[in-house]
Amino acid sequence: MPAREKLQEQVNILREQLEQDPPLPLEKRQALEALLAKFELQLELEPATQPPSISDDVNRAVEGFELDHPGIAATLRNIVVTLGNIGI
């Protein structure tokens, strides 16, 4: 599976987890939704024009979800790997 398709699949999984997981504090939910919006923008851009900061944003999000929402954190880690495979 090409990396872009894998990223889209992981974004979809993350959206499902956001809907299914126990309620998140508003601040965390908004941060995760903003991150999802960035991923979707990434999918539309050419790799050469993509900002490298998205990986840093995802790594910070992993730290924020690791303890209370390990499923979301695992999906975010997969996204970091996929972004690396894309060259971001």
Q: What is the structure's pLDDT at 58?
A: 86
Amino acid identity of residue 68, one-letter, is D
CB 74 within 8 A of CB 13: no
Domain segments of the chain as ranges: 3-86
* CB count in 10 Å sphere of residue 12: 12
Q: What is the structure's pLDDT at 74?
A: 92
Q: pLDDT tens digits, the chain, 88 residues: what are they?
A: 677 788 888 888 888 888 876 677 888 888 888 888 887 777 776 655 555 577 888 888 888 888 888 888 899 999 888 878 877 7
pTM here?
0.76
